Amino acid sequence: MSNETDDHEAASLGEPLPTTMRAGWCPDEIVYTLYTFNPATPGGKHVRPKVSSHVFTGVDIKTFIRDRIAGRPLPTPAMIREHNSEDTGSKKDINIYVGRPCYVVVELEGGRQWQFTAHRPAITAHADYQDDNGALEHVMPNGDFAGPSGPSGDGCRLAFFGVNARCKYEHQGFAFHLDFGRSGLRDPDQIDPDIPNDGGKFPFGGKKKCPEDPAEAQEDGV
């Protein structure tokens, strides 16, 4: 089902995520989004989130992934992160919202002719965000982890990575690299979400410095 990569597509892959997370990083939650697509949707907006930015706590990532592969029902989310009304950044329905150090898990709905493209990273960034994100992992249909370079073959519909830091309402852009088989749709413009902070900030270690919020400075007596 895989398509060959031409020179134009290769040039548009974007910035690869760091292969590891910063030392000391400790995720507080899992943020899960499930996308679906319908080639018949009018207006060309074929891809939609079926479950978006659902937050799960108290479960480790390997157990969560194992349950997804097994098709078990999702647990009740601790919360659902959403676009904050004070956020002036792009409000796209395909965005994924984060609020603490976390894993972001992305799944493509089964039963449709699409997958993360084999042998290339499923998710890349629009810019070099340093160590704000990292440790991209691809999960094959049998549950094997294929590593950060991309799926080892056809059938991968599940990927995840770590989020280390975001400033208040900071938007970071990403591209998901998909193979739609014989549906006639083409990557990379079908899923191109921002993954912004829904409020607050969590610059976990490293060199990241967030712009000072005047309201916070006033509260601190500055």
Dump the DSSP string for 36-94: EE-TT-GGG--EEEEEEEEEE-SS-HHHHHHHHHTTPPPPPPSEE----TT--S---TT
Q: Tell me 176's DSSP state.
A: E
Count of alpha carbons within 13 angstroms of residue 222, beta-carbon side: 9
pLDDT of residue 5: 43
Provide the whole-model pTM.
0.90
Show the CA angle centred on residue 183, arms to residues 182 and 184, nearest 5°.
90
Please answer whether residues 1 and 154 qualify as being in contact, where contact means their C-beta atoms are separated by less than 8 angstroms.
Answer: yes
Percent over 90 (pLDDT), the chain:
72
Tokens of 151: 């799926």
pLDDT of residue 215: 53
Beta-sheet pairing, 115-116 with 79-80: unpaired
Please answer whether residues 134 and 161 qualify as being in contact, where contact means their C-beta atoms are separated by less than 8 angstroms.
Answer: yes
Q: Count the Cβ atoms, other than its own, within 10 Å of residue 199.
A: 17
Q: Amino acid letter at 46?
A: H
Closest CA to 103 of 59, 61, 58: 61
Domain extent for 130: 1-222
Averaged pLDDT, 99-118: 94
Q: Amino acid letter at 192?
A: D
Q: Report how far residue 132's alpha carbon sits from residue 61's, in angstroms, rounded to the nearest whole number.
A: 19
Number of domain units in the chain: 1
pLDDT of residue 42: 72
Q: Is pLDDT of 193 > 90?
A: yes
Show Cβ contacts of residue 58 under 8 Å, excluding neighbours closer than 6 positions: none
Q: Report how far residue 18's alpha carbon sits from residue 22's, in angstroms, rounded to the nearest whole number.
A: 9
pLDDT of residue 191: 80
